[in-house]
A and B are shown apart, each in its own frame.
Chain A
Amino acid sequence: MAARYLDRQLNIADYALGGLTRRLGKNLVVVLVFALVIFMVASFSMTTTSLKHAASQLLTTVPDITVQKMSAGRQVGFSTEAIKELEFIFGIRSVQPRVWGYYFDENNGANYTVIGVTELGDKTQLAGLGIDFLPNLKTDAAFEPAVIGRGVRENLGLGNRRAFSLFRPDLSLKSFVTSATFDAETSMVTDDLIIMDLKAARDLFGLQADEITDLLVDVANPLEIDNIADNIGERLKGVRVVTRERIGKTYRVAFGWRSGFGLACLFGAVAAFFIFAWDKASGLTPAQQQEIAILKVLGWQTEDIITLRFWESVIISISAFGLGYLAAWIHLLFFNGLLFRPVLLGWSVVKPPLSLVPVFSFADLLIIFSLSVLPYLAATVIPAWHSATIRPDSVI
């Protein structure tokens, strides 16, 4: 009995597939539109997951506290004198100076991120970049050594050469030699990055001899971070003190309303599609009605007709799901979530910028599957109930 049931299901599924291929053009349109909807939802959700993952990864490398000087609401440089002020705060393990700036390469129309650091033995200075290894900056005495990202190497057209020059603000040239390049594996952040000695960075940007842009503070006891941040704010006037927690909050707030907004827009598209599917499943062409009546006279039960519609919907929705999900994965993997990244993350909103490393989430897949395939089945099989009760005598 069970075997016969299975054979019946297979027969009807086979007939459903045949029917779909007979009306290929029409059904292909449905599959493609549905796949597009699934692609959008899946891309959006995958991009969100990956961004959240990247943000949480990044947060682990962000220093406990970052100190910046603000003037007229903009970040400005300040003197290393400030370090002395912080020496008296109990609980601070270390304070590192850093110059962080952007260099616009007019020749190539490219923007590079320049970071100047002092000591090479301390990872704190590279915090926020997700960089694990520490380049040796002091290999070549004749030129100023620098570690550059792959993107920088390509933009400068270096090929196998190691030497390159950048302009100071007064348009005089400063020469560098690459001591290392970040390989392709590292995140997108490192792509446009140039790391150099702190003094070299000051020289390049035309800063004062003791001028820096950030102080990176490492705290011994995580529970003390907020207290120490308050303390720093009191001792140094006109500074912005950013804790790791605050950066995390910025990410969360930015994601929160953006992904909510995006989801609301997508929900509209999804709902529209299901209404369209319902409508299509409710109205049958005379030829379809006649086919159902013939099948019923030939001994097909009403439930066989519903089973037929069910398999048609399964085939359509599974292929659309596969197609849409695959496209979304390709979009994320090879195009870095190009379409939805700006929606989720205006580049200006979150600093330091996030790179996208695709994160596969089985839970996401399951959610998207159950929010696309199941409603489609409902939207098409429920109206099929009505059409399956067409009376067989209509073809006599």
Chain B
Amino acid sequence: MKIELTAVEKYYNRGAPNQVHALRTVDLSITSNETVCIHGPSGSGKSTLLAILGGIIGPTSGSAVVDGRKLARLPDRFLTLYRQQHIGFIFQRFRLIPELSVVENVTLPLLPLGIRPAERKRRGWDLLKRLEIGHRGDFLAAEISGGELQRAAVARALINDPSIIVADEPTAHLDTRLSEDFLSIMAELKDLGKTIIIASHDPLVSGNPIVDRCLYLRDGRLTAVPGPQ
């Protein structure tokens, strides 16, 4: 899966007094099985960039092409199909539904795919066991710890077997040990051939050997920085 952004601009509330120019002429090319870290202070546009790469929003102008398919100006319906098939999204604040059990949360993406309950459960439990939180599957999301929430969020992102993993500041709410656990999971996924894009200003992430390339965002502009640190 090759991702190409060319001259991408993103405005929020364009033309209104509260207009925000969140991304400015962003050019970016990510090859298959590459792990890219997007570095930048808060408000620099990291989440916005990830949302465009993850097919959650479209750019205001410019082109976004994934595997030869144009994402820009694609109707919502097709963006959603793109997410279903290719994207595993890990939210900054995990965003599990607190009153659902962990395994129910993890299998949510499978419901609109028409996958039957037995098969859903099997896949959910398999994944939870692989991520070593099988013992928490029946707990409510509200009842588990931060590290467990992170693993559940990863499991949910992987349930539809996506080729691209997008993670928004995944270690911001984790201590060092849990952050390292997370990165070792990412390393396994990299070995499986996934493309991984992580937004983070955590040096633990940008300095990690799995990261092939680090990019720097400032005020919506993307620049390459010469390697970690």
Contacts and interface: CB of A to CB of B under 8 A. Distances in A.
A297 B111 contact: no
Contacts of B110: 11
A301 B114 CA distance: 13
Contact of A11 (B51, B95, B112): B112
B111 A11 contact: yes
Interface string B56-89: 1100000000000000000011001001100001
A51 interface: no
Contact of B156 (A298, A301, A395): A298
Interface string B92-128: 1001010110001000111111111100100000000
A300 B111 CA distance: 8
Contacts of A379: none
B92 A304 contact: no
B165 to A, nearest CB: 14
B198 interface: no
A308 to B, nearest CB: 9
A8 B112 contact: yes
Interface in A252-292: 290-291
A301 B56 contact: no
A22 B108 CA distance: 16
B160 interface: yes
A308 B147 CA distance: 31
Contacts of B109: 298-299
Contact of B91 (A3, A22, A395): A395
Contact of B80 (A5, A301, A393, A395): A301
Nearest to B92: A396
Contacts of B47: 396
Interface range, A side: 20 to 34
A8 B111 contact: yes
- For the residues of A in contact with B, the DSSP-based class is helix
A396 B80 contact: no
Interface in A13-59: 14-15, 18, 22
A367 B73 CA distance: 47
A14 B76 CA distance: 25
Interface string A383-396: 00000000111011
A296 interface: yes
Contact of B113 (A8, A18, A392): A8
Contacts of A298: 83, 89, 108-109, 156
Interface string A296-315: 11111110100000000000
Given A294-B97, A392-B56, A396-B168, A304 B112 contact: yes
B111 A12 contact: yes
Contacts of B97: 291, 294
Interface of A: 3-8, 11-12, 14-15, 18, 22, 290-291, 294-302, 304, 391-393, 395-396
26 contacts: A5-B114, A6-B114, A11-B110, A11-B111, A11-B116, A12-B111, A22-B99, A22-B100, A291-B97, A298-B83, A298-B108, A299-B83, A299-B109, A299-B160, A301-B77, A301-B80, A301-B112, A302-B77, A302-B80, A304-B111, A393-B56, A393-B57, A396-B47, A396-B50, A396-B51, A396-B56
Given A301-B112, A304-B112, 16 more contacts: A5-B114, A7-B115, A8-B111, A8-B113, A11-B110, A11-B114, A11-B117, A11-B120, A12-B111, A294-B91, A294-B97, A297-B83, A297-B95, A298-B83, A299-B83, A304-B111
